[in-house]
Structure 1
Amino acid sequence: MTIQQKTERLAPLSEAQVKQYHEQGYFVMKNGCSHDLIDTYNAHIHSIRSAEVLEEWAKPRKGKEAVNDKDRFSVRLFNPHLHDGFSLQMMKLPVVRGVLAQVLGDEACGVQSMYFYKEPGSPGQAAHQDYYYIRNEPNTLTAAWVAMEFTNEENGCLWVIPGTHRLGLLPHGAVKNLKEHEAWTNEVEGIDLSQEIPAVLEKGDILFFDSLLIHSSTRNRSERWRRSYVCHYIRHDSTIEREDLKRKISLV
């Protein structure tokens, strides 16, 4: 029996696409993840949250013995890659590793993962910059947002303001529209939010974006879900300030 060798790192982006990413602060990789893989992963996460007895890491509300049935499929699953092998491999998708190396100039490491449900009627998150929540030096923080199903304006897609990653970190304050957005987050200040454009994604598309890009999401006004798997990465030589995100996951 021969040991399987790791494949060479992919380079899926053209020079023009890398340039576009740096100019706009984001890029959509069409069909970055196969439908079969997404369907299998969605079913896997559903089985984890459907279990009669949930492991502590998988509970919607940490530290609570009783699990509310509604919370099972509404509260995000935080950092599943630290506990679940399938989630870890989803963080390490070869196409993601390749794109990150191209836009960051070197190998990246995973630092955070989140599986979002966003059921019908649920609110979105106000406009913000990820760097506000996840400080790292030098700042190389990048998100890969995998659409686990079709997402558009109706079911609460992401909205972005192209080029705002060049503005640096802006002040964040209290959320203004509580009918549209979660109250526990913060909202960027001093920016014209009418410039936002929707990031409509087909199932399997991956949205890569810079940590300083201003982005938000809106309330899910449809009868459809808007599931997504979102991972954050830094270049291997960057350092995270937050104690809970210091562990770096190699993508090799």
Structure 2
Amino acid sequence: MSLTGEQKQQFERDGFLAIRGLFSPAEIEEIRGTFMAMAKDGPVPGLSDVPKAREGAPLSSNDPLQRYPRMMHPHKHPDKPVGPLAMRYMRDPRLRPILAELFGESPFAVQSMFYFKPPGARGQDLHQDNFYLRVKPGTCMAAWVAVDDADAGNGGMMCVPETAALDVACPEKADPALFFTTEHVEPPPGLTPQMMELKAGDVLFFNGSVIHGSTPNTSPDRFRRSLIFHYVPASTVEMSHYYEALSFDGEKQDIATNLDGGPCGTTQDLPTGPH
């Protein structure tokens, strides 16, 4: 698909754009079912984002993210059902032309993630993705696939308009009672987060400077699952060592790495109080 003039203007101004219904209900059901089956027995070693200090520890009922931590780089696990699925959707031909138009050049895929965000889960505080990916000279781009309807009730995605061209800020400390990650970026004065109100199958694109995050899932029974991919432009000359670049044709790209950055959002230790 090609973007309309209005969509391009919105992205240039705000740095984010939602494409509605890009994936079909059947495709979303395939994604949801495959990842839920993978997580049926709890965290998966080497795939689930479990802090080293908690590996092998018994699950606690106090934090639903212990039972359903996010899965990192599932596309790098071809031996598991989620591996080929994540690789296929990360390089989906519907994403390629949109990313190319938003970047103004060819995109390379560098990361996949799956967030379960069960009822009662903490959110992810406001942050900027390029703080972690450290893409130079440009910035990265996310394609955030809603696997459930995502709104204020179940901890939906928020983006701060008009933050597309900001420099990457030095984060403050996030509140561990509300957020499972450690970093917080305060929006500039006069700018406030906008709840995106996404339906399952919608894809939210946003660049690495956009301040974004999510609130806790306060619903009694609704997951807020999402499949997330990150991309870099073909002109990238350096990025964090945590990422590896692939073309949409599956060819590895030789991009210099630095020792900065890391996973997209640094996981907190468990909070000591209720949340």
TM-score range, shorter chain: 0.7 to 0.9
Q: Is the 8 A contact 1:108 1:234 kept in 2?
A: yes
Confirm or deny that 1:228 pairs with 2:226: yes
Indicate the SS of the match to 1:87. Answer: helix
Find the partner of 1:179 among 174, 177, 180: 177
In the alignment, structure 1 segments of 5+ residues that lack a partner are 1-10
Confirm or deny that 1:81 pairs with 2:75: yes
1:43 maps to which residue?
33
Distance 1:169 1:236 in 2: 21
Q: Deviations over 1:120-167 (max 9, x none)?
A: 111111111111111011223000100001010010011111111222
2:215 maps to which residue?
218
Q: Is the 8 A contact 2:65 2:117 kept in 1?
A: no
Alignment of 1:3-152 (within 5 A): 11-50=1-40, 56-59=45-48, 61=50, 64=55, 68=59, 73-83=67-77, 84-152=83-151
The answer to which structure has the higher helix fraction is 1
In the alignment, structure 2 segments of 5+ residues that lack a partner are 78-82, 250-275
C-alpha displacement at 1:16, in angstroms? 2.8
Q: Is the 8 A contact 2:151 2:197 kept in 1?
A: yes
Amino acid at match of 1:219: P
Confirm or deny that 1:204 pairs with 2:207: no
Q: Is the 8 A contact 2:143 2:205 kept in 1?
A: yes
Moved more, 140-149 or 17-26: 17-26
Moved more, 55-64 or 103-112: 55-64
Cα–Cα, structure 1 residues 67 and 180, in superposed 2: closer, same or farther, change >3 Å?
closer
Q: Is the 8 A contact 2:114 2:227 kept in 1?
A: yes
Aligned-residue identity in percent: 27
C-alpha displacement at 1:62, in angstroms? 7.2
Number of aligned positions between the proteins: 238
Q: Is the 8 A contact 2:161 2:191 kept in 1?
A: no
CA RMSD of aligned residues (A): 2.3
Indicate the SS of the match to 2:13. Answer: helix
C-alpha displacement at 1:31, in angstroms? 0.2
Distance 1:60 1:181 in 2: 15
Q: TM-score, normalised by structure 1?
A: 0.86
Cα–Cα, structure 1 residues 36 and 138, in superposed 2: closer, same or farther, change >3 Å?
same
Distance 1:113 1:198 in 2: 23
C-alpha displacement at 1:45, in angstroms? 1.3
C-alpha displacement at 1:94, in angstroms? 1.6
